[in-house]
Amino acid sequence: MQGVAIAERAYQHARGLCAGAGAGRVVGAAKGAAASSIARPPGCAAHADDDARACTEAARALGYVTAAALDHAHRHPSAEVRRRELAFAELMIPIVKGWSTELAQKTPLWASRSTAAGLHRGTGAAQYLRDARITTIYEGTTGIQANDLIGRKLARDGGKSAG
């Protein structure tokens, strides 16, 4: 979920830059003139960045669904439901970890793409990329998550959990 949080913050950062950050005075404006506002600088996507928003919301939802399955696996009164929910949660954990941490690394890049390059420099956006990069170490590399999914979670029951 740390990856989701970083992706969300990077998206909000890009959206804020596109929404009208002060740009200083217009060239040739009178001395002391008020700073102009940027309604949508060149290079800003019309909706900040729909890819970043949609993927971040989907990753958050997937994390919540998996967390709810873990809750049901531990608390549901039916042993059969607990078993099924645990199998689902265990199957989903490497997917949630791997996708969310990879998403966190892509979102600052999407944000950079959707904002004018000159505006994005020096605004702290690179920190999101650095923060995101470390999440793959915390969560295990994407390769480890993939091996866990394929080698353990799918193989253990012949793919029944995935079905």
Residue 61 to residue 25: CA distance in whole angstroms: 42
Which one is catalytic: 8, 85, 102, 139? 139
Number of structural domains in the chain: 1
For the stretch 69-113, pLDDT in tens is: 999 999 999 999 999 999 999 999 999 988 888 888 887 666 555
Quote the crossing angle between the two packed helices 79-114 and 50-75, to the nearest 10°.
Answer: 160
Q: Is the dihedral of CA 58, 59, 64, 67 positive or negative?
A: positive
Residue 66 resides in a domain: yes
Can you give the CATH number for the domain in which 137 is found? 1.20.140.10
Q: Residue 30: inside a domain, yes or no?
A: no
The yes-or-no answer on residue 85 being catalytic is no
For residue 16, pLDDT over 70 is answered with yes
Provide the b/e sequence for 103-121 (b: ≥16 CB within 10 Å): bbbbbbebbbebbbeebbe
Q: By the 8 A CB rule, do 55 and 103 touch?
A: yes
Instruction: Indicate whether 6 belongs to any domain.
Output: yes
pLDDT of the residue at 82: 97
Q: Is residue 161 part of a domain?
A: no
pLDDT cut 70: percent of the chain above it? 67
